[in-house]
Structure 1
Amino acid sequence: MHYEIDEEAKILQFDMASVRSADEVLATVMSLIAQRPELCAWDWIALGDPLPDDASHEHLAKLSAAWGPPPAVEAVTAFVTPDAFFHLWAKVMDFQFVRRKHLVVRDVAAARSLVERRRAARPQPR
């Protein structure tokens, strides 16, 4: 799975289009957060056109169990997908990851804009 870690913007972006299964996505993400636990507090952009069709609640449970401590302020995962029903799956993820909101957008530009809007609304550190 292809991914980019934008150190300056503190955004993890990954593309699920080239993967064969949700197991591959899970393995890559679990490896990334094991190596870089701070990524759990960053905003994420997940490209999913298409999304792996074998993803299940077991995959999310494994990721949730490996997740680090909640971020100090809410982080966002923006899923870029044309799937008209993915917002339902994203809503379920909100309950599995403390202080992380999962939202769905149509393109990368919209995802970046969403991240910036959410960041602007966050409380500023003192």
Structure 2
Amino acid sequence: MTLTQLPAWVQSAGLLVASNVFMTFAWYAHLKDMNHKPWWYAAIFSWCIALFEYLLQVPANRIGHTQLSLGQLKIMQEVITLTVFVPFAVFYMNQPFKLDYVWAALCMLGAVYFIFR
């Protein structure tokens, strides 16, 4: 089975996961590695990373929109964002795991239920 034979929502989810990895690093990695650099340096660095995010995110939404509504795409994006962000925060940024992440995930499950029902 090739990637194009996968259902559109699976292709979209996979591309969104990859794009979220890039975007999470673009938004937050400079907080760890570049505190000593001027803000504009971090902005240029982040924009360079974000280009790759957009190269994945735009086709993800176009592919996903063939089977999913706009609301479903957005909620899927938000769930993926939290799923990518929590390990990034804990393992890369060395932040403690908080129960707030669990509560946020449970709220998102409610959002998933309501938007996909």
- Which category describes the TM-score, using the shorter chain as reference length? 0.3 to 0.5
Greater fraction strand:
1
Which of 1 and 2 has greater Rg?
A: 2
Normalising to structure 2: TM-score of the pair?
Answer: 0.35
- RCO comparison, higher one (Cα < 8 Å, 6+): 2
